[in-house]
Structure 1
Amino acid sequence: MGEFAFFNHHCLPFADKEQLNDLMPKFLRLCLRAGRCGLKTIIVDQNVDAHWFRIELTPGYYWQDWYSERALRDPLLREQAQAFRSISTRQPFFSPEELEAALLFDVEHSESKTSFSVLRAAVWHGSGIISFPTRQPWNKSPIMVHVQEMGDIGEIKIKANWVVNLYSLDVFDDVEQSLIAARHAAMRSGREIWENRNGLFPHLEFCGRAPDQLRTWSHRLSCLEQSRDAMRVLDVFADKWKRGEIHEYTHETLRRLGLAHRVSGESETCANDRRRVSAPRTPSLCSPG
């Protein structure tokens, strides 16, 4: 799972409005967190409304009905629903070219032996799915599937595979760091990191010469990777500090969070920045050497 995931329409409809009102806010929070980790696009099946409003949630009751009756009356829920719409949506699961190539490819849920289009698309594209946990098998992750492919001489090859199913924040917690690591690894220049800093490191503020150094990075790639990894750890540290999970700075805390580089004190420029008087003192980082 990276910049896109597949919406699992097979998990609909909800059992009733009570289940809908319980799960929808959790679904929105899940998607927004995934968006901060790089999810840019949710791909929906061609039979699903790409604008969401005409998706039937319970018999005769649509997304637009829920939005009018629930979200518009709750400021927080309305804000979350509007932010969710900022994640782009496209369809279908397969382009015409991909669909033709996938004719000799099928995927079955390992237990029910049922072929679900969303699982087929997820395996084909090497991505994950996003579900409402309304019923089995959409309330567990990963989901085991059997992939059937036709070999060169016409024989059917069957192999097991797993599909990540984002259906709860607990599941997201389990995969979050791998998603962040994959997104960071895709950044191959200082300018890319700088231009994507708000998404990559939402809890960091860059001061002094850091912006110019990133935009004009001329050092070797290994140094950039070390700096990027250090910023990732600092971002996690700042988030935990804000949540009250960390109460004081220590070098050992950074090491526990995954920092593998030598740590020095703050630079004089950062230490004297008046904008940061009330903020936790942030260390500067050096490569080993």
Structure 2
Amino acid sequence: MPVFLCLNELSCASNSDERKIDEAMGAFVDLLRQCRRWRQDVSLISASPLTTLDLAAGYSISQWMGNPRNRDRWQFLRLMQNKAPFSSVHSGIEGEVEYRFAESRTDGIGTAHLIDGLAVSLPLEERWNREWITPKRSALEESDDGVLHLHEEEVEVRHASALEHLTVHEEWAKATGLADVRTGQALWDSRADFFPHLRFLHRVEEDLRTLHHYWLAPVKDLLLGLDASLNAWNTQKSPEPAWHTKVTPESETRRRLCGFTDLDGITRVFDLHARMTPNVGRLHFRLCRENGTAVIAYIGRKIQS
């Protein structure tokens, strides 16, 4: 399942001037870029097509697009825009549920709650400077005697308008949909979406296809942990990441067992490994400090001589 970023349309209703809007849009695009680094299947959905959006009172996105320095940002926004318009997501429950924040109806925040997405806002007002947002949800519910009544409650919705807000949502975003991956082949097929900082030798497809069923969950956890470690790795300050799981090199006597043909056709030693249980399982990889990634070479039982 992809990660949906739901634009909070209320954050586009301020009276900010053009300079502040340009700064806010720069920060907003940076926010989306960071989410895209987490997952390749992240997409942005909005209440109306982006080309018709007003960014603030009296300032349209068309005016913002007219500035040449915003051209690349605009192209990125179009890339992030989901194929289906936001209204089609919300229309299925029109009249049955409504979300309001500070007495204003909010389809963006509401949809984020309905589809377990992340509400995102332009950072133009202090009220959007938060990691969670609590709209009031009103919904029709049927009682035991078949009578419909209106039920109101406050709900919590994931939210971000600044890069620092994303920290608490990173683990959720990376794991969203991974629970639905139930075979090694499916894990291989979705590797680029869930593990953007990992690359895999072609031979690993067979390792995953024949993976013991009791290793599927541990392998998913290991790969998520490795990817998270690499995402936080400052290659200029440290020779390797701060690992989220135990990682050790092979002994000198066993390094000769860890040679694999790399993606460029050169044989290299992949002696760094993490462990899977039950039984003696290993995940072998090597670090690529030049781009902050790792290459996975082997997943399976401990390599024997």
1:39-62 per-residue CA deviation (whole Å, 9 max, x = no partner) reads 5332222xx3x1x23322245543
Structure with the higher helix share, 1 or 2? 1
Residue 223 of structure 1 contacts residue 287 of structure 1 at CA under 8 Å; is this kept in 2? Answer: yes
Q: Give the match's secondary structure for 1:147.
A: strand
1:225-282 per-residue CA deviation (whole Å, 9 max, x = no partner) reads 2112212222233334454453347xxx43xx1x27x8562674447859699x9976
1:119-150 per-residue CA deviation (whole Å, 9 max, x = no partner) reads 33333334331110212533323111222233
Letter in 1 for 2:38: C
Residue 94 of structure 1 contacts residue 121 of structure 1 at CA under 8 Å; is this kept in 2? Answer: no
Q: Superposition pairs for residues 119-268 of structure 1, below 5 Å?
A: 119-151=109-141, 152=143, 153-207=147-201, 209-214=203-208, 217-244=209-236, 246-248=238-240, 253-254=242-243, 257=244, 259=245, 265=250, 268=257
Relative distance call for 1:149 and 1:236 in structure 2 (3 A) is: closer
Residue 89 of structure 2 contacts residue 111 of structure 2 at CA under 8 Å; is this kept in 1? Answer: no
Does residue 287 of structure 2 align to residue 286 of structure 1?
no
Relative distance call for 1:137 and 1:87 in structure 2 (3 A) is: same
Residue 137 of structure 1 contacts residue 143 of structure 1 at CA under 8 Å; is this kept in 2? Answer: no
Does residue 33 of structure 2 align to residue 32 of structure 1?
yes
Per the normalisation by structure 2, the TM-score is 0.72
Letter in 2 for 1:66: W
Relative distance call for 1:66 and 1:202 in structure 2 (3 A) is: same
Residue 149 of structure 1 contacts residue 158 of structure 1 at CA under 8 Å; is this kept in 2? Answer: yes
Relative distance call for 1:284 and 1:98 in structure 2 (3 A) is: same
Structure with the higher strand share, 1 or 2? 2
Give the drift of 1:17.
Answer: 1.3
Give the drift of 1:161.
Answer: 0.8
- Count residues with an aligned counterpart: 266
1:70-120 per-residue CA deviation (whole Å, 9 max, x = no partner) reads 425xxxxx4444233222333243458713xx42323232xx333323233
Q: Which residue of 1 aligns with 2:24?
A: 23
Relative distance call for 1:2 and 1:167 in structure 2 (3 A) is: farther
Residue 9 of structure 2 contacts residue 106 of structure 2 at CA under 8 Å; is this kept in 1? Answer: no
Q: CA RMSD in A?
A: 3.4
Letter in 2 for 1:142: W
Tell me whether 192-201 or 13-22 shows the greater mean CA deviation. Answer: 192-201
Q: Which residue of 1 aligns with 2:61?
A: 63
Residue 32 of structure 1 contacts residue 84 of structure 1 at CA under 8 Å; is this kept in 2? Answer: no
Give the drift of 1:223.
Answer: 0.8
Q: Which residue of 2 aligns with 1:86?
A: 79
